[in-house]
């Protein structure tokens, strides 16, 4: 996981398989380093959903082609790519679940004078 200025690339984040195209298990994620907390969290959840899609085998890169459930979508426009539509939907679902998690209890640190 890297935090970088991605403004020139025009993205908030991206992910790619670092080990291989066939059944990848090692991924690299980059997230833009100037996002507010909400956009950072949603972007991270979005990219992690792509990791999930790759691990489950729904999204694959094979011989220079991008396959979704075995169908070549290499020429599909970004907004029409089914894996992006799913990831955009899931980033909102997961973010809402994240916001509704119970808040952790904070215990005072007895080693620090207050």
Q: What is the pLDDT of residues 64-104, one digit of tens each?
A: 899 999 999 999 999 999 999 999 999 999 999 999 999 88
In the predicted structure, residue 41 carries a pLDDT above the cut 70: yes
Specify the length of the chain in residues: 114
State the pTM of this model.
0.84
**DSSP conformation class of 36:** -
Q: Is 14 left (phi over 0), alpha (psi -120 to 50) or beta?
A: beta
In the predicted structure, residue 114 carries a pLDDT above the cut 60: no
Show Cβ contacts of residue 58 under 8 Å, excluding neighbours closer than 6 positions: 68, 69, 83
Q: Per the structure, how many domains does the chain have?
A: 1
- Any domain includes 83: yes
Greater confidence (109 vs 54) lies with: 54
β-sheet with 59-62: strand ranges across:
59-62, 65-68, 71-72
- Any domain includes 113: no
- Any domain includes 38: yes
Residues 98/45, Cβ–Cβ less than 8 Å = yes
Predicted local distance difference test score (pLDDT) of residue 9 = 87
Task: Please give the residue range of the domain that contains residue 60.
Answer: 30-94
């Amino acid at each position: 996981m890297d935090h970088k200025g991605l403004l020139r690339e025009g993205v908030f984040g991206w992910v790619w398989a670092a080990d291989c195209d066939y059944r990848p298990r090692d991924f690299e994620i980059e997230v833009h380093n100037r996002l507010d907390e909400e956009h950072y969290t949603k972007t991270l959840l979005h990219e992690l959903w792509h990791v999930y899609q790759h691990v489950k085998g729904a999204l694959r890169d094979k011989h220079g082609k991008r396959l979704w459930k075995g169908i070549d979508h290499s020429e599909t426009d970004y907004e029409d790519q089914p894996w992006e539509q799913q990831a955009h939907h899931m980033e909102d679902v997961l973010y809402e679940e994240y916001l509704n998690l119970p808040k952790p209890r904070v215990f005072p640190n007895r080693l620090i004078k207050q």
